[in-house]
Homo-oligomer: A and B are copies of this chain.
Amino acid sequence: MELWYTQPQTENISFSIKVKEHLFTGKSPYQQIDVFDSEEMGKFLIIDGIVMLTSKDEFIYHDMIVHVPMATNPNIKKALVIGGGDGGTVRELTRYPSIEEIHMVEIDEMVVEAAKKYIPLTAGKLTDPRVTLYFEDGAEFVRRVKGHYDLIIVDSTDPIGPGEGLFTNEFYQSCYNALTDEGILVNQCESPFYEKNAREMRRAVAKIKRLFPISEVYQYNMPTYPSGHWLFGFASKKFHPLNDFHPQTWKEFGLKTKYYNTEVHRGSFMLPTYVREQINNAENPE
């Protein structure tokens, strides 16, 4: 028997992974969660039918979501991860001995439980003593905090279902308020290629641009996400990701990384013309 997982990446494009074993299926109050094992991609996590991570390419996403802000401000002490239930973002943060406090707010405990049981590759550092997990709505959590975090990472799903509240003006305003004066916000910012992702990217960029004096977008190659060309937003009250970049200080941490390096840091902000134009022209349709 051949078993294939298939994701419709748009109405007219689909991507499939041959499956060895269906390890877990569960329906939480928020979403449908599945974990598979495969020859090509190793274990992979699916939420509401969409690839969240595979063991083979998660290093790209997690390198880029964490090391870009950390190399911009190597003095980050207090970090908040919103979403990120697989634990990969927290894992990369725990590699910095200088970070003192890592809060993770994930709405869906079942995602964390499934990752802990089946994907220790990403979930293995959730037990670090500096990490505190909160199982509640990220938008509500962050609304209650003022001037506390040096870094907020929005490691969200697409803006449908439980991820929707993490793409609103109000949410980004709460993040702004929850950051210190040196704070950095990094957010999962969709993709420029297929129109359905590009529209969400432009909406998110427009909203963040209005709030933060510094707002940039950077790219990375994520093979199992639609088109493979994916983006993070970088916004800050003070630090620019290139002008305030500290490559030498970052190298002194001595971290071995498989995707990120200080050249990739710079290159990730050098965007193709059609991406740059979308970002420059982004308005706020809310």
Query: Using a CB–CB distance below 8 Å, which chain A residues touch chain B?
Result: 4, 10-18, 38-41, 57, 60, 193-194, 219, 221-223, 226-229, 257-261, 263-264, 266-274, 276
Contact = CB atoms under 8 A, between A and B. Distances in A.
A17 B227 CA distance: 12
Q: Which 10 A-B pairs give the minimum distances between C-beta atoms?
A: A228-B228, A267-B270, A267-B267, A12-B40, A223-B227, A12-B18, A263-B270, A221-B229, A259-B272, A14-B16
A261 B264 CA distance: 17
5 contacts: A4-B14, A13-B18, A258-B272, A264-B273, A270-B270
A275 B246 CA distance: 23
A235 to B, nearest CB: 20
Given A14-B15, A223-B227, 7 more contacts: A10-B40, A12-B17, A12-B38, A222-B228, A227-B228, A259-B274, A264-B271
Contacts of A16: 13-16
A241 to B, nearest CB: 14
A60 to B, nearest CB: 7
A264 B270 CA distance: 5
Contact of A261 (B57, B223, B276): B276
A8 to B, nearest CB: 9
A276 B257 CA distance: 12
Contacts of A14: 4, 15-16
Nearest to A272: B259
Contacts of A267: 266-270
Nearest to A16: B14
Contacts of A273: 257-261, 264
Contacts of A271: 263-264
Contacts of A276: 261
Nearest to A256: B273
A264 B11 CA distance: 30
A258 B228 CA distance: 18
Contacts of A258: 272-274
A223 B12 contact: no
Contacts of A4: 14
A181 B257 CA distance: 39
Nearest to A257: B273
A229 B227 CA distance: 10
Contacts of A264: 270-273
